[in-house]
Amino acid sequence: MPKFIEGEITAQGINFAIVVSRFNDFISQRLLDGALDALKRHGATDEQITVVKVPGAFEISSMAKRLALGGRFDCVICLGAVIRGATPHFEYISTQVARGVAAVAFESQVPVSFGVLTCDTIEQAIERAGTKSGNRGWDAAVSAMEMVSLLKAID
């Protein structure tokens, strides 16, 4: 029988960094609220959580890298919203944010969760920030907790 390793979803003993974009704040704040709710419901205290607000989604990955490599945090949760407009700007930003966050996780070996919405419409973003389709901030926080647990389990 193969050995299965699964992570636990708990905030106990974990120091969290959350990087959240101020751009599209009416969405980003809902994502942050969801992430904080998930962390606190799973045992986190305010002392375990540091929230860093960056100007826009493009700045998320550089801040996430600094936090991941700094040694103070067990994981980094990245939150924001990029909403399609009338120019190609959406493609440039959404692609670079996704690549940047993935690179931070790969280079730092610190769990970095991706809670950045890339939506065609404001309505889609609202749905994913706490209404019809759940809250991707919550999901990103749960993913971060589970990945920290998994990394501890395999070490």
- Which active-site residues does the annotation give? 89
Per DSSP, what are the bridge partners of residue 52? 19
Whole-number Å distance between alpha carbons of 49 and 6: 24
Six-digit token string for 2: 């193969």
* Beta carbons of 77 and 34 less than 8 angstroms apart: no
DSSP character at residue 36: H
* Beta carbons of 53 and 24 less than 8 angstroms apart: no
Whole-number Å distance between alpha carbons of 53 and 38: 19
Amino acid letter for position 114: F
Whole-number Å distance between alpha carbons of 31 and 140: 9
